[in-house]
Amino acid sequence: MEREPKVGIFWLANGKLIFDATPISGAEAYGECMGHAKSHVEYWSELQRSGNVSANTEYEDPPRGRVVFNVRTRKYIVYADKCIRKKPKVVRKILRDFALPEDGTGLTGDEHYRCRVCLYGEAS
């Protein structure tokens, strides 16, 4: 049984992949893409309130990214911090957890998705 691909947001925090996702059938339009309704800020706040992440860690500190579906090209795009892209095992986990097709998914960086280490050269 094939699972429905998802779009959403994710982090790699303390070696653990944390994400929130929406099946593509429930995704929202954003320009020429379909995406997840929740923002990184919004979901990170929920995680802090529930105690699942430290209240002292800002949402932009750990490496993060987003999965969208480009309606025009009919391809999924994983935008991810360099600290995630250089870890093949984590990339494979993202592809698997989001049920993304290997041949229909691109992996790229984006200036928006850069962690504290990539931005300032310091550990969080």
Specify if 93 maps to a domain. yes
**pLDDT, tens digit, 9 for 90 and up, residues 3-48:** 899 999 999 998 899 999 999 999 999 899 999 999 999 999 999 9
Specify if 29 maps to a domain. yes
Specify if 94 maps to a domain. yes
Residues 67-85: b if buried by 16+ CB within 10 A, e if exposed: bbbeeeeeebbbbbbebbb
Smallest CA-to-CA distance from 70 within 120, 115, 105 is with 105
Q: Report the predicted TM-score, pTM, of the whole model to 2 decimal places.
A: 0.90
Structural domains in the chain (count): 1
**pLDDT, tens digit, 9 for 90 and up, residues 61-89:** 899 999 999 999 999 999 999 989 999 99
Specify if 1 maps to a domain. no
Specify if 58 maps to a domain. yes
Domain residue limits at 41 = 6-120
